[in-house]
Structure 1
């Protein structure tokens, strides 16, 4: 059992834990995105040469990680509630480091696909980092802390492709996987040495079942609505990804500098989110995260619709930057509301369920975008996405207004 002095010490050290967790999320974001720019090239290196098959295999190895993560997250979340969040961070970082090293040794595309699936099964660093910080930080600072924490993975994902491309050009494709493994192992060592967690283990017989987890919540309907919001946020983000480069080419009217322009427009939302997330999170601590959530969903709708009407790439880039600033507040607001409505005993599972919805959105969004663009054109993707986000804003507003959520000043 933890003594009151130990609990007080951890409460005093939550800022250090937040900094270390941010670094871990940053390194994880870098590690995952390092290999993204050349996944199709690696699939080709493993023997897939037919263009049609290469497209299918590239899509499969990309999406299988999110698919398996969606199924694995609840299991790891339950284990985190029993054993602690720090050990889940260590398990995730070390497991992913080993899998990344094995990817660099793959000799067939089937091996690579299996390892990408295993990566999804062993992942979960970011949701467990969120759960760790959310259960330690004072509730009146949750929005700011989770907003700042979200910038770690975002900034890592932004810089990762650039570093990955440079490394692949300099050293070849396989060595990048070994470098990525080293980055993840660094994350493991840093977490092992620097993160402090006082955790009282819960016996397996005392663990709540999934149904009991939801009945223990202050507002189960609200929590379910927040899960749906996470799903739709990821669908909205992913729906544009498959068509962005092609849409930019259509707007640009030429292929000159296409890769640079498309890459720039793809990255600006992340830069905007990096700037806005902590600031809007802090504002949410003052005026309520539910107001930030609804306001930013509506702003997203108002920005998505004009994207279907733009006439040149720079108009699209400006709107994408503004959309990123709005999106930067959405997931931290959701996470803050989740922790307001869940006890520390079930926080790990609640965050893991939320991660599952996020992963399903990561798989569903690109598929939806591809199907809509194939039937109705690129511009229709933005209209359909705006309609879905608007539906979510209305649904969330109806659920949130029925029971106002007030942050507690201290943890349970």
Structure 2
């Protein structure tokens, strides 16, 4: 007990204090973003009298518009982060979204809701700027563990959010749940304001660094950075390609018997549980044995687990494979961010991480669309096989990038 007490209450460096506060903040933010998702379509249905096709269309637009706007505006916020600091960007994002999500509880028609979802996209960037702040404030040799820990917080929030949102909506109402969500983001704003300290910020002094061309010139290996951004897009698309069909696949495996909704929720949550548990450990392992090596293992694991998922015969097999997919996610997403952090000059880190967020948002849009189209053509099994193919293409792209980086290092050496 004494050793545990000493470890818990030992003096900590500023970056460690930031990590603790931002872990809790991204956990709360992830929970706030995801808790409204389970009932968003049902909320849309209360805002008017719609046909089934209209309801599907409006629900899809309400979901997609935030990601579309995020993809467009993230580079602008990244540029401002490099000029004025990452802390002010996380304050902007948390305050803006606290107000916007609270206002969603007051809308009277679907167009007002769509407008607020549009504005939510404009105020995006809390988690990406938290990652950028940790990446720049943390010693490079510790960045894998730090970014893995931060991802575990985000994943944990995303996991618990739908459960909390569904519970709050059933106890209170959809509107009250939006007010509570806005309150959670208000707490995130206060914690970030009081307890996050950006001590190592170096503003981009040169005007050249405010342009995309200037940022590219500042990068030692721009091809490798853009390869990582594309890797992010494909990882997100791969993870989200099965989103539209997972509950339908569960229903097929259960032959319509039992509580399909409850079981689908568990199956959907399992990868996140595995990612949350494994990401910090794998990040620390990457710091020791090499980030590229961990990422390579992750790609191979994902391919090996997606393929048999297409041929499962019961829901238990699906659950086990989804858990293993969660482990592969823990090897991939934090490692990409670690590679970006280790290969980006501090003065343009905000820009690069904002580009990463844009590519994530595009992957979030492409993935479900791809999954729905493939399921329509080839049935549910085809979605998992096509996702495995997508991951394999991503793996080849990554290996080419690593080889080019090694050649570049040798030629400069």
TM-score (norm 1): 0.94
Per the alignment, do residues 206 and 12 of structure 1 end up closer, same or farther by CA in structure 2, a change over 3 Å counting? farther
Matches within 5 A, 1:68-107: 68-107=69-108
Per-residue deviation at 1:221? 0.8
CA distance in 2 between partners of 1:329 and 1:115 (Å): 35
Please identify runs of 4+ aligned residues in structure 1 that moved more than 6 A: none
Residue 49 of structure 1 deviates from its aligned partner by 3.0
* Residue in structure 1 matched with residue 182 of structure 2 by the alignment: 181
Alpha carbons of structure 1 residues 203 and 285: separation in structure 2 relative to 1, 3 Å: closer
Deviation at 1:242, TM superposition (A): 0.1
Distance between the aligned counterparts of 2:77 and 2:275, measured in 1?
28
Partner of 1:217: 219
Q: Distance in 2 between matches of 1:85 and 1:275?
A: 27
In the alignment, the residues of structure 2 paired with residue 218 and residue 289 of structure 1 have an alpha-carbon distance, to the nearest angstrom, of 18
- Within 1, Cα distance between the matches of 2:188 and 2:23? 11
How far has the Cα of 1:48 moved from its partner? 4.1
In structure 1, the residue matched to 2:295 is 293
**CA distance in 1 between partners of 2:257 and 2:181 (Å):** 32
Q: Give the Cα–Cα distance (whole angstroms) in 2 for the partners of residues 268 and 162 of structure 1.
A: 13
Is this contact kept in 1: 2:23–2:150, CA < 8 A?
Answer: yes
The RMSD of aligned alpha carbons is: 1.5
- Conserved in 2, the CA contact under 8 Å of 1:276 and 1:326? no
Q: 1:330 aligns with which of 312, 329, 332?
A: 332
Distance 1:115 1:204 in 2: 36
Write out aligned runs for 1:124-143 (5 A): 124-143=125-144
The structural deviation recorded for 1:196 is: 0.8
Offset of residue 318 of structure 1: 0.3
Q: Distance in 2 between matches of 1:54 and 1:312?
A: 32
Distance 1:202 1:137 in 2: 19
Is residue 263 of structure 2 the alignment partner of residue 256 of structure 1? no
The answer to whether the 8 A contact 1:27-1:183 is kept is yes
8 Å CA contact 2:274–2:326 kept in 1: the answer is: yes
* CA apart distance, 1:206: 5.5
Q: Is the 8 A contact 2:23 2:153 kept in 1?
A: yes
The one-character-per-residue Cα deviations of 1:221-249 (angstroms, maximum 9, x if unpaired) are 11011001000000001100000000111
* 1:26/1:152 contact within 8 Å kept: yes
Q: Is the 8 A contact 2:204 2:210 kept in 1?
A: no
What TM-score, normalized by structure 2, do the two folds share?
A: 0.94
> Which segment drifts farther, 191-200 or 288-297?
191-200
Which one of 368, 380, 384 corresponds to residue 386 of structure 2? 384
Map 1:154-233 onto structure 2 (within 5 A).
154-198=155-199, 199-202=201-204, 205=207, 207-233=209-235
Structure 1 segment 24-39 matched on structure 2, within 5 A: 24-39=25-40
TM-superposed deviation, 1:205: 3.4
1:82-135 Cα shifts (integer Å, max 9, x gaps): 000000000000000110111111111011011111101101000000000000
Q: CA deviation at 1:208?
A: 3.3
- How many Å apart are 1:404 and its aligned residue? 4.0
Residue in 2 aligned with 1:118?
119
SS at structure 2 position matched to 1:241: coil
Gaps in structure 1 of 5+ consecutive residues: 1-10, 406-412
The residue matched to 1:87 in structure 2 has which SS?
A: helix
Equivalent position SS for 2:220: coil
Q: Secondary structure at the match of 2:197?
A: coil
Question: Could you tell me whether the CA contact under 8 Å between 1:239 and 1:367 is conserved in 2?
Answer: yes
Report matched runs for 1:271-290 at 5 Å: 271-290=273-292
- Partners of 1:35 and 1:177 within 8 A in 2: yes
CA contact (8 A) 2:67 2:361 kept: yes
Question: 3-state DSSP class of the match of 1:266?
Answer: helix
Distance 2:26 2:140 in 1: 21
2:8 maps to which residue? none
Among candidates 384, 395, 398, match of residue 397 of structure 2 = 395
Decide whether aligned partners of structure 1 residues 53 and 69 sit closer, same or farther in structure 2, where only a CA change above 3 A counts. Answer: same
